[in-house]
Chain A
């Protein structure tokens, strides 16, 4: 008993099996978390090494280079880049996507062990950490305060950050913008010198006083007691009365030489939320944790945290990345719903029977639900890729069921009982159903095997569609015949209303059939005309290729803008802040779309993980701007960003400006494309000159380049204290001792900690601010040698002003300077082309090499991956068809649909102004499987007619006429299933829109042309075959004669 016969005979079992699948699918769906993208394993490892006191150049030579040389041998390495800054070397290893990062980390660790002995003694051990997109903050909260501002850090740390950090999946919570408490001991250098004291002695005395010492145990009678000396300060005021020495028989107390101030740290990053100073709480997630779940949890406990805070502290939300995810996913859900409705309408229009419509539409939820089981098993999520797979599949899953139903209906109309018709009808078509599913699987299964970033992205798409197609075929061969046997009636009676409504449709469809038959009849008799005009059409459409720009990923409008502004290096925080305020006010008035705007300015504290990963400094302002939802505003985030860039041109005060769609520059897939011109070369001056010229040329001559930035930072003015080693030696000093004295006086010596309520605060001893404001102040610093003699710095060396690049960047073991530009208002290929033309005109000195990287490099990689994939897929599809037809000619004829589908893609992209990017490319690849289906149906039936003894031309015309409806129906379901995707409108729809546009364009054009060109070519090839046979025949007869 065959599969379909069994299922027709056992309807209860069949239906319950599918109900079980559906239930399991629903159960999985309920438990699936949501996310924006599939879980993309990180492909970057960072190695951080600190070498205190070393300059950028020292770090480059002694730390970065030896490490790079060894790490370069790790396998699967794509790029190795390094940044050498003062005190710090940061090496980033970028690997090919899809490799096991844990294995790679171990490799890196092994290599580091090898090299660690070659590093300078003072350098600390290199630290490895895996960087991934998870490090991007998922929620940023703002805190506004009035009276509580001075104590805000502690309030937030205890009341908000700690409870939030306990949420499952939260990686780190950092509070920035709220200064931490610090006990400052500001000494007066003149008095110190007068009393023969130094910062070091004072700091040692404070440390000595501020100690609890256990004194041991002793027995009194029957009891044992312990003795303790509680020396720790219980009030910062106690510091004033510490005895620090004696002079001329008089006791000197700390208050005599210093001012004690219980205040906050001196240099701090300030945060302004909507113009009010406050703090920012940044929440980062652990690798692999679900952003939406965390953000839900955060939002849930936030009100209860708010209640416990002082009444003037207000917590608000600046960024909640899960908003975007939720909206995107729900708008995709809407897309799927619309597609379902469209498909239902098409099926009803063509079949005209509600029973048939039910039989067909049941397949959709069943196959879609089954894919959720796959997602649940692989611990995946409902994300853009998995949901758009559903949207893609929805129009295709009904195809198999339609073919089966159509044939069964034919049998019923011929007089079979429905149950017999179901079995025999399915028996007749099951091979071609399986074959057409195989052609689709030949397209989608290879997607699961691609490497690189595209592979990581589209693996899920491949699996999802493959699984959905297999389930839909299984259902078409079991459930559909079973339902046909139960639901179809031999002589259906229609109500009057139905007749009134449906008769015109039926007439129209009949008219279409007849028109097509006539067209086909004319075409097959004018083969040359048709072929020549088809070739002409294809050639013309290929002209469009030139006008369709290429890009990497579509830019998503997630309503977030990140802006970074830099004033000239060294500008004081106050000046930068005032400018930032001015810009904020201007933007607030100009862009009512802005809902929340927050900025930070100033030097970040080193223990703030989030801030220390970003650029910060007294001259840097960074804004976080959240716009209203895309549906609620007229202007897109891209337009607003362009206008902001225009606004910023009116501020000559800013040396560098960056306005980033989506919050981050490049890197993130949803932002605008960034083209990077990498300038390799050892000589700083030469590469700087090239970079500057390129920047100027790009600005002037290449339209669409925005926010052009040179990566090498401005040369920082520094005061170098250059000791004369001879003089040092005379006084019994060495360079590092002397340097330590300077550091303790300017930066301060952390002598001890003041403890209160379980918290520790630094006690810092240093010169009072008024004594460290000029070069003379540095020169006057007194250094004491081991004999206790005081020598001033000015007697040991001189203080000079120097300029040095703050960071030295290297990539693939060469010094590099990058000129990067955001592509806006044009496509990436045009910018690259323009840039390369400019570089050609430039006079590049020897030893300097310029290369294009950034999104362009990613795009090139992805495109070449996808091109290889496309070739493989075309071959696979050919193999499947050749196997089905047992012929090489027919697949070849059918393949002629492909070039026209590409014409259609380019026409659609051109007309809608969409670019050729990774997403539209995937759409194009899918087309390979979709468009050949029509050809298969046509050629299969024409073959059938010929086997039945009909002459070629008649076979073609009548076959075409009878297959027109199934072809149009399956095509229309696929096209209309994609229409909601292509129209878009919802949040995040920009991402999959190009795919919808590409598929609709390609499928429409290729279907219209296939319907004519495939029959015509069939006639040509069949004619050749017949002639050959006749010739053979004639030869044979001649021989006999």
Chain B
């Protein structure tokens, strides 16, 4: 089991949800309003007057074999519209109940 943390411009929300469904990743947690900025080129997403756009974030816990297709799909999505911004990070799940 791995956890995938996806932060993205709000415009991506529906597509990401569709991807999760298609890859049969049922469980996820969704943070609707997340602020932040990218490490290199990423435009700040502050929801402010100067930087009005906002991010959202999703954490989904998926079996190991589904991580790669999911990341591939997300990367594809990011390349399509680079200026919006989409990042995903993966780490291990030690234990669950």
Q: Footprint of B on A, CB under 8 Å?
A: 411, 414-417, 420-421, 424, 427-428, 943-945, 947-948
**A417 adjacent to B14 (CB under 8 Å):** yes
A944 proximity list for chain B (CB < 8 A): 49-50
Q: List 20 A-B contacts (CB under 8 A).
A: A411-B11, A414-B84, A415-B80, A415-B81, A415-B84, A416-B11, A417-B14, A417-B15, A420-B10, A420-B13, A424-B10, A424-B11, A424-B52, A427-B52, A428-B52, A428-B53, A943-B50, A947-B49, A947-B51, A948-B50
**A417 adjacent to B11 (CB under 8 Å):** yes
Question: With the chains together, A81 CA to B46 CA distance in Å?
Answer: 71
Q: B26 at interface (Cβ–Cβ under 8 A)?
A: no
B10 proximity list for chain A (CB < 8 A): 420, 424
Q: Given B51, B52, B82, B84, which contacts A416 in the complex, CB threshold below 8 Å?
A: B84
Q: Footprint of A on B, CB under 8 Å?
A: 9-11, 13-15, 48-54, 80-84
Of listed B10, B11, B14, B49, residue having the most chain A CB within 10 A: B11
Q: Given B9, B15, B48, which contacts A947 in the complex, CB threshold below 8 Å?
A: B48
**A947 adjacent to B50 (CB under 8 Å):** yes
Question: With the chains together, A233 CA to B50 CA distance in Å?
Answer: 101
A280 to chain B, nearest CB (A): 71
Of listed A415, A427, A944, residue having the most chain B CB within 10 A: A415
**B53 adjacent to A424 (CB under 8 Å):** yes
Question: With the chains together, A77 CA to B15 CA distance in Å?
Answer: 73
Q: Given B14, B48, B51, which contacts A420 in the complex, CB threshold below 8 Å?
A: B14
**A943 adjacent to B11 (CB under 8 Å):** no
Given contacts A416-B84, A420-B11, 18 further A-B contacts (CB under 8 A): A414-B81, A414-B84, A415-B80, A415-B82, A415-B83, A415-B84, A417-B11, A417-B15, A420-B10, A424-B10, A424-B11, A424-B52, A424-B53, A424-B54, A944-B49, A947-B50, A948-B50, A948-B51
B83 proximity list for chain A (CB < 8 A): 414-415
Residue of B whose beta carbon sits closest to that of A427: B52
Residue of B whose beta carbon sits closest to that of A950: B50
B51 proximity list for chain A (CB < 8 A): 947-948
A942 to chain B, nearest CB (A): 11
A135 to chain B, nearest CB (A): 60
Q: Given A416, A943, A948, which contacts B81 in the complex, CB threshold below 8 Å?
A: A416
Residue of B whose beta carbon sits closest to that of A420: B11
Residue of B whose beta carbon sits closest to that of A421: B11
Residue of A whose beta carbon sits closest to that of B10: A424
A411 proximity list for chain B (CB < 8 A): 11
What 7 A-B pairs come out closest when comparing CB atoms?
A415-B81, A947-B50, A428-B52, A416-B11, A420-B11, A414-B83, A948-B50
Question: With the chains together, A415 CA to B83 CA distance in Å?
Answer: 7
A943 proximity list for chain B (CB < 8 A): 49-50
A949 to chain B, nearest CB (A): 8
Question: With the chains together, A943 CA to B52 CA distance in Å?
Answer: 13
B82 proximity list for chain A (CB < 8 A): 415
Question: With the chains together, A415 CA to B86 CA distance in Å?
Answer: 12
Residue of A whose beta carbon sits closest to that of B54: A424
B11 to chain A, nearest CB (A): 4
A947 proximity list for chain B (CB < 8 A): 48-51
Residue of B whose beta carbon sits closest to that of A419: B14
Residue of A whose beta carbon sits closest to that of B77: A415
B49 proximity list for chain A (CB < 8 A): 943-944, 947
Question: With the chains together, A427 CA to B49 CA distance in Å?
Answer: 11
Question: With the chains together, A934 CA to B53 CA distance in Å?
Answer: 24
Question: With the chains together, A943 CA to B51 CA distance in Å?
Answer: 12
B52 proximity list for chain A (CB < 8 A): 424, 427-428
Question: With the chains together, A424 CA to B45 CA distance in Å?
Answer: 12
B54 proximity list for chain A (CB < 8 A): 424
Question: With the chains together, A424 CA to B83 CA distance in Å?
Answer: 15
Residue of B whose beta carbon sits closest to that of A429: B52
A415 proximity list for chain B (CB < 8 A): 11, 80-84
B47 to chain A, nearest CB (A): 9
A424 proximity list for chain B (CB < 8 A): 10-11, 52-54
Question: With the chains together, A944 CA to B50 CA distance in Å?
Answer: 5
